[in-house]
Amino acid sequence: MPDGMNVDYDGLIPNNVDLASDARVKKALETWHPGYIDWWKDMGPDGFQEALVYLRTAVSVDPKGWAKFDYVRMPEYKWGILLAPRVEGRLIGFGSHKGEPAWQEIPGEYRGMLRRLMVIQGDTEPASVEQQRHLGKTAPSLYDMRNLFQVNVEEGRHLWAMVYLLQKYLGKDGREEAEDLLRRRSGDADTPRMLGAFNETTPDWVSFFMFTFFTDRDGKMQLEALAQSGFDPLSRTCRFMLTEEAHHMFVGETGVQRIIERTCEAMKAAGIEDPGDTARIRALGVVDLPALQRKVNLHFSLTLDLFGSEVSTNAANAYNSGVKGRYREDKLDDDHRLLDSTYPVLRCRDGAIVQEAVPALSALNMRLRDDYVADCQGGVNRWNKVMEKAGIAFRLTLPHVAFNRRIGEFSAIEADPEGRVMDAGAWAANRDRWLPTGDDNLYVTGLMRPVDTAGAYASWIAPPKVGIDNKPGHFEYVKLWDA
């Protein structure tokens, strides 16, 4: 087994970076640790700190077989520093340093840029834990509750991952940033998280699944781009985070899929053909598909804002300097410098949406967003298969990228989900057709009743096809009482 693949659980902080022989960083992390635990107790899952949760913990960073499952109290979870194994002789794969050996230390000239990228990435990790902290109380099953907590502890570990990089490679500034990551709070008026979507609430489980499908997927795209970085420790960190992130995508995608399955099943059993027959469908205690579409519209558009401006100098700088690549840069077949190529970008010109060829370097946010949309579309297609199989005449679609935007080209205009530009009055008049209504929210909130009997599921969601760690259907994923 290559060096650094096994995790050292002997010290306070599990790691595969030989923390034991790095006194400075060890001390910094041990100083930061109590604050983290305080943060987890204050802002982590509300009401379940004593519950025994069947969680996976990494024991090795070997992509096959890295996890071990067991019951854990969340505050005792083994958060640690895990990096994908070092690839000997790794070269920078893109930008002006292409072909040079990957950096093992931060080059001084890119210090600010790397710091900014790591802080922004780091800030999203605890943010989602904060956003989701009340959901345990309305979990539709112990299985789902366990998945929520698994996502939560892993987001906590992702925070550790960024904090390690900040503390190891950015000295005093890095330690200050690490402290600030614990001080900001999602949605707080005075100390909000850095990005808009991470200050929205996640009020119910439908939102949670949408969030993990759409917003965690933005995290995945960002991690994929950073995994290409010429700064090797960042690349290795992100590569390992991606293995965890895959589970978050799974939770989101199967969560929505199970809602759809349940709705289709209930509609068929009741002989309802029209997906828009809201009153009758809701009387069955399931989520009607048009309401689901409105949730899709909301979460997709909020998440697109996370990609920043379509045409961006920062993105260009980060690429050219070898700090942040494209999605799957190593699989792309071009010169990996992009100095002379262009990329088509949708822009807003005199109130109309037009396509323009923009220098490819400046269009990297747009490119990553396009890759993201394609990735989302795959999941949406799988959802639609469920309805097709069930014979329900409804299909979910992703709204146009100009719909409901606050950042970038389209923040200045209003467009409907098909991308037709309209004035603010017309948009407002139709808003309730496109985005979750007060009624939708009331109805969905009403469905959110906890189900905490092992093997039982709420009325609005189908059971999963297979259990976690291949456990049987009645398995008690969370032991609430006998802690």
Partner 1 sequence: MSRIDFQTEPGRYRHWRLRFDGAVAELLMDVDPAAGLFEGYELKLNSYDLGVDIELSDAIQRLRFEHPEVGAVVLRSAKENVFCAGANIRMLGKATHGHKVNFCKFTNETRCSIEDATEHSGQTWICAVNGTAAGGGYELAVSCDSILLIDDRRSSVSLPETPLLAVLPGTGGLTRITDKRRVRRDRADVFCSTEEGVRGKRAVEWRLVDEVVPPSAWEARIRERADEAAARSDRPRAATGVALTPLTRRFTDDGVAYGFVTIACDRAAGRATVTVAAPAGPPPATLEAARSAGFWPLQAARELDDAILHLRANEPALGLLVLRTEGAAAQVLAHDAFLEAHQGDWFIREVRLYWKRLLKRIDMTSRSLVALVEPGSCFAGTLAELAFAADRSVMLDGARAGDNRPPAALALSPLNFGAYPMANGLTRLRARFWGEPDSVGAAQARIGAAIEAGEADALGLVTMVFDETDWDDEVRIMLEERASFSPDALTGMEANLRFVGPETMETRIFGRLTAWQNWIFQRANAVGETGALKLYGTGVQPSYDKARV
Binding-site ranges for partner 1 (CB under 8 A): 96, 112-113, 115-116, 180, 183-184, 189-192, 194, 309, 313, 315-321, 338-339, 350, 359, 361-362
- Residue 239 interacts with Fe ion (CB under 5 A)? no
Residue 255 CB contacts under 8 Å (≥ 6 apart), including other chains:
144, 147, 205, 208, 209, 212, 213, 461
Handedness of CA 316, 320, 321, 325 (dihedral sign): positive
Query: Which of partner 1, Fe ion, none sits in contact with 190, Cβ below 5 to 8 A by type?
Result: partner 1
d(CA 258, CA 402): 29
DSSP state of 215: I
Binder of residue 261, out of partner 1, Fe ion, none (CB less than 5 to 8 A by kind): none
- Cα–Cα distance for residue pair 147/151, rounded to 1 Å: 6
The interface partner of residue 319, options being Fe ion, partner 1, none and the CB cut-off 5 to 8 Å by kind, is: partner 1
Q: How many CB atoms lie within 10 A of CB 53?
A: 25
In the bound state with partner 1, the residue whose beta carbon lies nearer, of 194 and 421, is 194
Q: What is residue 70's DSSP assignment? A: E
Binding partner of residue 158 among Fe ion, partner 1, none, CB under 5 to 8 Å per kind? Fe ion
DSSP string, 102-120: PBSS--GGGHHHHHHHHHH
Please report whether residue 248 would count as binding Fe ion according to CB under 5 A. yes
Nearer to partner 1, 287 or 348 (CB): 348
Helix (H, G, I), strand (E, B) or coil at 58: strand
In the bound complex, what is the minimum distance in angstroms from residue 96's beta carbon to partner 1? Answer: 6
Q: CB under 8 Å to 158, separation ≥6 — which residues?
A: 122, 125, 241, 244
Sign of the torsion formed by the C-alpha atoms of 283, 284, 287 and 293: negative
Partner from Fe ion, partner 1, none binding residue 450, C-beta < 5-8 Å depending on class: none
Q: Which stretch binds Fe ion (CB under 5 A): 149-157, 171-179, 187-195, 199-207?
A: 149-157
Q: For residue 216, state whether it binds Fe ion (rule: CB under 5 A).
A: yes
CB of 93 to Fe ion, least distance (A): 23
CB of 306 to partner 1, least distance (A): 14
Element (DSSP H or E) covering residue 68:
strand 67-73
Partner that binds at residue 191, options Fe ion, partner 1, none, CB closer than 5 to 8 Å by kind: partner 1
Q: Which is nearer to Fe ion, 113 or 127 (CB)?
A: 127
Alpha-carbon gap, residue 78 to 56, rounded angstroms: 10
CA 412, distance to chain mean position in Å, is 27
The CB-of-67 to partner 1 minimum distance in angstroms stands at 35
Nearer to Fe ion, 237 or 293 (CB): 237
Binding partner of residue 285 among Fe ion, partner 1, none, CB cut-off 5 to 8 Å per kind: none
If one asks whether residue 253 binds Fe ion (CB under 5 A), the answer comes out as: no
Give the C-alpha separation, 73 to 474, whole Å: 21
Closest approach of Cβ 472 to Fe ion, in Å? 27
Rounded to whole angstroms, the Cα distance separating 2 from 348 reads: 51
Out of Fe ion, partner 1, none, which partner does residue 248 contact, by CB within 5 to 8 A per kind?
Answer: Fe ion
Does an H or E element contain 69, and which? strand 67-73
* Shortest Å, Cβ 196 to Fe ion: 17
DSSP secondary structure of 267-297: HHHHT---TT-HHHHHHTTS--HHHHHHHHH
CB of 191 to partner 1, least distance (A): 5
Residue with tokens 């809602």: 259
Q: Which is nearer to Fe ion, 110 or 211 (CB)?
A: 211
Q: Which residue has the tokens 């100098």?
A: 313
Nearest distance from C-beta of residue 181 to partner 1, angstroms: 10
Q: Which is nearer to Fe ion, 246 or 426 (CB)?
A: 246
Query: Is 158 a binder of Fe ion (CB under 5 A)?
Result: yes
| Alpha carbon distance 326, 94 (integer Å) | 9
Would you say 166 or 316 has its CB closer to partner 1? Answer: 316
**Given the complex with Fe ion, which of 125 and 130 has the nearer CB atom?**
125
Select 184 or 400, whichever has its Cβ closest to Fe ion: 184
Binding site for Fe ion (CB under 5 A): 125, 155, 158, 216, 219, 245, 248
